[in-house]
Copies of this chain bind each other. A is one copy, B any other.
Amino acid sequence: MHEPGSQLIGYSSSAEGKQTFQAFNPLTQEWLPQSFREATIEEIDRAVTLAAAAFSIYKKAAAAQRAAFLHAIADEIIAAGDGLINTASAESGLPIARLQGERDRTTGQLRLFAELITEGSWVNARIDNGPPDVRQLQLPLGVIGVFGASNFPLAFSVAGGDTAAALAAGCPVVCKAHPAHPHTSHIVAGAIRAAAEKTGMPDGVFSLLHGATIATGQQLAVHPLLSAIAFTGSFRGGKALYDTATRRPSPIPVFAEMGSVNPVFFLPGILKEKGETLAGQFLQSLTMGTGQFCTNPGLFVTQAGSDVFLETLQKNIVSLPAGCMLTQGILEAYNKGLAQLQQAGARVLGKAQAHSQQAAPALLQVNVQQALADPALCNEVFGPSSMHIRAESTEELYRLAAALEGQLTATIHGTEEDLRQHAELVDILREKAGRIVINGFPTGVAVNHAMVHGGPWPATTPAAGTSVGTAAIYRFCRPVCYQDFPAYLLPPELQNNNPMKIMRLLNGKFSKDALP
C-alpha cells in the first residue's frame, strides 16, 4: 500500500507537497485525523507524463487484458471490505446501506465495461473494401483526467463510471480525488493499483492526486499531455474546467456533467386519478439521499385543479426527516440557495424541521410569469428542495417547458389521455434533456447500454455524450481509418477473417461475416 495522505503516481507514493488538508465527518461534525498533502505542480506533471508513457503500452493491451484489469479492480474493491464502506460513510455522512449499494453499482459498472470490450463490437468497425480499401475503428484518445464527484464517493469517483469507461477504452487515468472523501479515494486507488499490478498493467496506467484548492485541478487541466477531462460536479466547477481546457494552446474536450433541476410535469388526469400516491412518491424521490443527486427533481409543474396533490405534499413535507449533507459547503449552499429563491419572490409551500447542521426538505412555489421573467428561479439548488410552478393553461405549460435550460432528465406523469393531449410536451422536452421519463421519477440512473446521463448545456458539455452506461466509452475515443493496409498491420477487429467475431459494417451492411 502507498502511504496514506500522499499522491499515488503510478505504482509509487509521493509526498512532496507542504500544504495539507483533512476531511470532515458531517455526521459527527468532527475533522477526521488523517491529513492529505496537496499535489505539487511537479507531482501533477510526473503523473501525466508517466500516464502518457503508459498509454503507448496500455493502448496495445488486448481487450481481454484490459477486461481482466477491470474485473480485478472490482475484486479489489470488494476485498477492501467494511473498511472502505466505513471510511466513505465517515467522509460523506452517507448511510452504510446506501454505500454498500453504491459499491455494487461501482463493481457492476466495471464488470459491464469488461464485458463490453470482451465482446468487442463496441469499436464500431467499418470496412469498405474499395478500392481504396478503407477500414475504421474507434481508438483510445490518450490520458484522461477524471474529477471525482462528492455525492457518489464510489460510483462517480476514483473507480467510478468515468474511470471504468476510460480504462476500458484503453486510456490511462489521472484522477483528481474529491477533497471531501480523500481517504475513500486513497483506498480505492490502492485497489486499482493492486489490480494493475496483479494483471501486469504498465506503471502509470492510473494515478491519484489530492488537492483541496482549485489549483490542482487547473494544473492538471492545462497539462499538454492530457487528452480529455471527465468531470461530475457543480456548474461552477465544470465551467471553470471547460474554460481552461478550451483556451489551452491545444484545446481538449471536457465531458462535464454539471447537474440540472430535472423538471417533473404532473398532468391533470393522473393527478385526479392518484394525486395522493404521486405526492408520496415524489417526496420520496425528492428526499432520497438528502436530495443529493444530479437527477433530483428540483422543479415540478402542475396545471390548475391539482389541489389534492398539492395539499398532500404540503401536509407531508413538514414531517419529513431532515438530513445530513455531504459537506458543510453543500449545506451552506443549500440554505443560501433557498434564501435567494425566497428573496426572488418564491413562496414557501412547506418546509420540514431541521437543526442547524441538517438540510430541511422544502417546497417553494412561483407562477409561470415569475419563472419566465426570472430564469434564476428555475436554477438548481442542490439538495432536498423543489420549486413548484403552477401553469394556468396547457399553453402556459408549453411556454414554460420551452423556456427551460438544458437538463439531464425531464419527466411527465400522465394518463394515456393526458399524454395524447400533451404530445407537444414530449416534443419540447426532447430538445431539453438527455433522458425523458414517463410515469416514473428521475432519480435512479440505470447502468445499461441505452442509458443517457447527459443533456444540452448547462446540464453537460458537450450535449452529445453520456457519463453513465456503455455508450460513455465513446467520449474517450476517436475514429481512425486505415487505408490500403496489409493484413499483418491491421488490428484484429479489422482483419478479413474477423477473429473476434464482432459485428461490423461491411460496405454499409451490418455483418459478422469474414471478408473473402
List the interface of chain A (C-beta within 8 A of B): 56, 60, 115-116, 119, 121, 126-128, 130, 132, 134-136, 139, 141-142, 242, 246-247, 250-253, 416, 419-420, 423, 426-427, 430-431, 433-440, 444, 446, 448-452, 454, 456-458, 461-466, 470-471, 474, 477-486, 488-489, 503, 505, 507-508, 510
Query: How far does the Cβ of A464 sit from chain B's closest Cβ, in whole Å?
Result: 4
21 residue pairs from A and B, CB less than 8 Å apart: A56-B427, A115-B508, A116-B508, A119-B508, A128-B446, A128-B449, A130-B446, A134-B448, A136-B450, A242-B246, A253-B464, A420-B488, A430-B480, A433-B480, A434-B481, A436-B485, A438-B485, A450-B505, A451-B481, A454-B478, A464-B478
Cβ A489 vs Cβ B426 within 8 A:
yes
Instruction: Write the nearest CB–CB distance from A271 to chain B, whole angstroms.
Output: 18
In the complex this chain forms, how many copies of it are found?
A: 2
For A510, give its contact among B242, B448, B503 (CB under 8 Å): B503
Q: How far is the CB of A51 from chain B (nearest CB, A)?
A: 14
The chain B residue sitting closest to A135, CB to CB, is B450
Contacting pair A434 B480 (CB below 8 A): yes
Min C-beta distance of A146 to chain B, whole Å: 18
Alpha-carbon distance between A480 and B466 when the two chains are bound, in angstroms: 9
List, in ascending order, chain B residues with CB within 8 A of A438's CB. Answer: 482-486, 489
Given contacts A416-B488, A436-B483, could you give 10 more A-B pairs where the C-beta distance is less than 8 Å? A56-B427, A128-B446, A130-B448, A246-B251, A252-B457, A423-B489, A430-B480, A436-B480, A438-B482, A439-B484
B-side contacts of A439, CB under 8 Å: 484
A436 B510 Cβ-Cβ under 8 A: no
A465–B246 alpha-carbon span in the complex (Å): 17
